[in-house]
Structure 1
């Protein structure tokens, strides 16, 4: 009888430990964050549909005779979509949650350290994944874009990893401004940065001074890596682009973490 009771108690303890494991906490936080934003039309619809609609208009309908334009815009609109997912997922939601006192509530919960930020990061990467798949399907299906399997796969990885610097930048913005002002601040950065980085038009079609300033933007370095995959980049050093993006990610995450801990 005692042996049976001990076994039952051990099983119950193991089940309780599994139910409250840190890994499960991370997974639940990420799942609920994704569902919350997926059910928020003001975030989900623009994030998923705008890059695809812009690609259909400018990459397909207005460039039926120009296959290079469809290939170029596949890479750059992928960056454009990933930028939006990272900046808005962090910049706007973190600012709103700070205003509502939600971050204070989260600190009081018995959840693993970092689960809040990792959940948002996982959600942003999941949206980036969906944006990339949608754009690639349009490019292959109606844009006439033909790439090697390794190029499709590498472009997908570049977009997925490319969300990190924009998530870090968005997180820092979310720690600086209030919930009401965050959408305006993010848009003031998001749209000009996309244009000045050559995401909508190749830099060679823009004034020379815009091309000279382009390397200051993380979106330029991300787009050059994506364009390098399809052989349409400006010929810059890959490790320079990677180093800039890594440095921006580390810098803004460190700055945001410092502000959140204050």
Structure 2
């Protein structure tokens, strides 16, 4: 009787499979995939193109930066925050620790999932910006904008990961929305900060999205000359701090 030879363990294959299944899991979850993939391009089309049409391509260019950041932040916060909270509540994290898989595969898979969703959102926004809104950017500007937004997934994934360790699966969406939506508005992602009251403009730097938005705006040529080094340093510090905080809670 022939015997089936066991498949040799491959850590690289474990990472790839975990990332694939995590992406498919959330792609097949309409409550996550539909809002994350559709809201940024629909809002951009409505507010950046139709209602903001009087500002012409310049306004659409500015809003492209804001809604790109808005889209990737949503994927990072909900992709990490809600799913980690649900996995903790259902005991899935304990099950994964007992499996013979690399310890970092769980987080790497979620990061890969967030980057894939973010790339789809950016592709949709770029299509609307170039095909409908008349935005004309150089190849360098398109690459800088996309790279900025994709790298920007990191700090908000760390924030979402930490939030996911604080509450239950049922409470996570409410908590994240209480942070996500006010942060998007008060960071100038939906409307320019100059249109907000001076008090709100003053406190805008307390929001992490404020720093990523300025980098994205400068990438598309709509920035105001803010020091990029400061924004990058703040986002790097946010990534490190919230990852450490989340790790402490996950190992408890």
2:41 pairs with 1:55: no
Distance in 2 between residues matched to 1:77 and 1:152, nearest whole Å = 14
Alpha-carbon shift at residue 113 of structure 1 (Å): 1.2
Distance in 1 between residues matched to 2:250 and 2:46, nearest whole Å = 41
Higher helix share: 1
TM-score (norm. length: structure 1): 0.92
Report how many aligned residue pairs link the two structures. Answer: 247
Distance in 2 between residues matched to 1:198 and 1:110, nearest whole Å = 45
Distance in 2 between residues matched to 1:28 and 1:256, nearest whole Å = 24
Distance in 2 between residues matched to 1:62 and 1:117, nearest whole Å = 39
Q: 2:157 aligns to what?
A: 167
Q: 1:146 aligns to what?
A: 136
User: RMSD over aligned Cα, in angstroms?
Assistant: 1.0
Q: 1:6 aligns to what?
A: none
Q: 2:126 aligns to what?
A: 136
Q: 2:72 aligns to what?
A: 82
Distance in 1 between residues matched to 2:118 and 2:209, nearest whole Å = 14
Runs of 4+ in 1 over 2 A off after TM superposition: none
Alpha-carbon shift at residue 131 of structure 1 (Å): 0.6
Q: 1:126 aligns to what?
A: 116
Distance in 2 between residues matched to 1:186 and 1:24, nearest whole Å = 32
Cα deviation 1:97-121 (Å, max 9, x = unaligned) = 1110111101000000110011001
Q: 1:232 aligns to what?
A: 222
2:216 pairs with 1:217: no
Cα deviation 1:142-172 (Å, max 9, x = unaligned) = 0110001110111111111111111100000
Tell me, which stretches of 5 or more residues in structure 2 are unaligned? none
TM-score (norm. length: structure 2): 0.96
Secondary structure of the residue that 2:176 maps to in structure 1? Answer: helix
Q: 1:95 aligns to what?
A: 85
Bigger radius of gyration: 1
Distance in 2 between residues matched to 1:234 and 1:198, nearest whole Å = 13
Distance in 1 between residues matched to 2:230 and 2:115, nearest whole Å = 23
Tell me, which stretches of 5 or more residues in structure 1 are unaligned? 1-11
Distance in 1 between residues matched to 2:219 and 2:167, nearest whole Å = 36
Q: 1:39 aligns to what?
A: 28
Q: 1:113 aligns to what?
A: 103
